[in-house]
Amino acid sequence: MIIYQWNSQFLKHAVDFETGPYYNPMNQLIYIILRGIVRMAVQSTPTNGKAVASLVLGIVSIVLGWIFWIDLVGIAAGIIGLVLGISAKKEAAPSGMATAGIVLSIVGIAIGGIIFLSCMACARACVYLPWYTWGSLR
C-alpha cells in the first residue's frame, strides 16, 4: 500500500507504509477506514440539498433557541428551515430528511418563542418589584 506524500509543487516520492521507515500499524488502520468512508461517500445516492439545509437549520434553531436574544436568530433559522423543508417535500420525493427538518424547525421555533416571551415577561415583571429601585443611583 503506497501513499503519496505531497510536496509543495510536485509529487516527489512515495512512502511504503508496510516496509518503509514510517511503518505504523495504526497508519494502516486509519488508511483502511478512510478508504472505506470515501468509497461509501462516492457510492451513496444523491441527496436533496434543500432537505439537508432544512435539517441543519432545524438543529441550529433548537440549539440557539435556548439563549435569550440569540433565540431570535434561532427563530429565523427555524422559519427558513421550515420553508426549505416544505419546498423539498414538494419538489422531490418525500424523504425522511425533509420531514425531520420540518419537525426540528417547528420545535426550534416553538422553543425560541417560548424562551423569548418568558424572558421578556420576566424582565417586565422585574421593573415593578420594589427591590429594583433600591439600588438606583440618585
pLDDT at position 10 over 50: no
Q: Where are the domains of the chain?
A: 2-43, 49-133
Q: Please, what is the Cα angle at 86 between 80 and 88, to 5 degrees?
A: 100
Give the DSSP letter of residue 65. T
Distance CA 59, CA 126 (A): 32
Residues 6 or more apart whose Cβ sits within 8 Å of residue 74:
60, 61, 62, 63, 64, 65, 67, 108, 111, 112
The whole-model pTM stands at 0.60
- Tell me the pLDDT band of 129, cut-offs 50, 70 and 90: low
